[in-house]
Amino acid sequence: MEYWFKQPEVIRKIASHYATNMPMPETMIKRVYAMLNEFEALHTVEQISYSMFDLTINSSTEEKPDIEGIHRELSKEVGLLDYGDVSVCPAVVTDRYAGRRCSKYYGHLWAKVFAADLFKSRFLKDGIDNAQTWMEYRKT
């Protein structure tokens, strides 16, 4: 689970210097923990924009939808960059929507919601090292 490894107590257990095997200093653990959460909001907004773009172009009834226009409008709508006259959409379309990741962003966002809810309601509540909770998770 992605939330498990981000916990400072887990970082303390698994992180050590490769040569000396000394544990990671507490100040560094705090910086790592802060860094892991720093860009979560931007990443989520990006995922929302990808989801909206994907759902929009794949539900279009137009024979040739204005891919670049749709991308520009949705980017502005969710608060990402206003690209102005720069054309960045074809690179985005090629990488993310050319059959490899189609329609996965929306599902991925919901999976993250369920994972966060499960982690907070069970693992943080019961303790992230609670063996019984892990076995119940494994059996479901």
pLDDT tens-digit map of 112-127: 888 889 899 999 999 8
CA distance 53 to 38: 25
7-16: long-range contacts (C-beta < 8 A, 24 or more apart)? 7/128, 8/33, 9/128, 9/129, 10/128
pLDDT of residue 27: 94
What's the whole-model pTM score? 0.60
Integer angstrom CA distances of residue 32 from 8, 25, 119, 135: 9, 11, 20, 29
Q: What is the pLDDT of residues 69-119, one digit of tens each?
A: 888 888 778 776 666 666 565 455 445 545 555 567 777 788 888 888 989
CB 56 within 8 A of CB 50: no
CA distance 53 to 72: 10
